[in-house]
Amino acid sequence: MGRRAALDSDSRRTVRVVTRAAQRGGPSRVWTVEAGPRVRGRPAQPLQCAIRRAVGGALGILIPFALLQFHRTGPHSWLYLGLNAAGSAVLTWLAVAEAQWGFVILQGVWALTAVIGMLRRAVGSGHAVTQG
């Protein structure tokens, strides 16, 4: 577990990982792995940026849900609908980038439902709005 790996790049798309034991003459363990995803010939965005966006999108859905459960907002409030639309739109975008089609459908429908709720509220049709 405490072994370190030395990385050397032998092409633009692959990285050879050689364990420290192999460097000292021990048994050789060499793997070839993808260096990372590429988009149109350029390296894709760093993993940390994608993680921040995913966490932000998830919080955009979870915060309004928690507020609704603790009766701090209503299901037709601008806060609830806006955060749901924004959070699910971010997660939809990330799912499209990763080609995770099940999540694209789930989050896409979630975002569309929230946007429809916002439109209904804006034009005054649908449910009576008492909170928000």
Helix (H, G, I), strand (E, B) or coil at 31: strand
pLDDT at 50 over 50: yes
Helix (H, G, I), strand (E, B) or coil at 15: strand
- The predicted pLDDT at position 40 comes to 53
Residue-wise pLDDT for 84-118, tens only, equals: 999 999 999 999 988 899 999 999 999 999 999 99
Tell me what percent of the residues of the chain surpass a pLDDT of 70. Answer: 58
Average pLDDT, integer, range 60-82: 94
- The predicted pLDDT at position 7 comes to 44
Q: What is the DSSP string of 78-128?
A: HHHHHHHHHHHHHHHHHHHHTT-HHHHHHHHHHHHHHHHHHHHHHHT-SSP
List helix spans (H) across 3-77. Answer: 20-23, 47-69
Q: Considering the entire predicted model, what is its pTM?
A: 0.59
- The CB-based long-range contact list for 50-54 (8 Å cut-off, 24+ gap) reads 50/94, 53/90, 53/93, 53/94, 54/90, 54/91, 54/94
Helix (H, G, I), strand (E, B) or coil at 19: strand
Average pLDDT, integer, range 27-34: 51
Compare 22 and 117 and report the one with higher pLDDT: 117
Q: What are phi and psi of 50, to 5 degrees?
A: -65, -40
Average of per-residue pLDDT values in the chain: 76
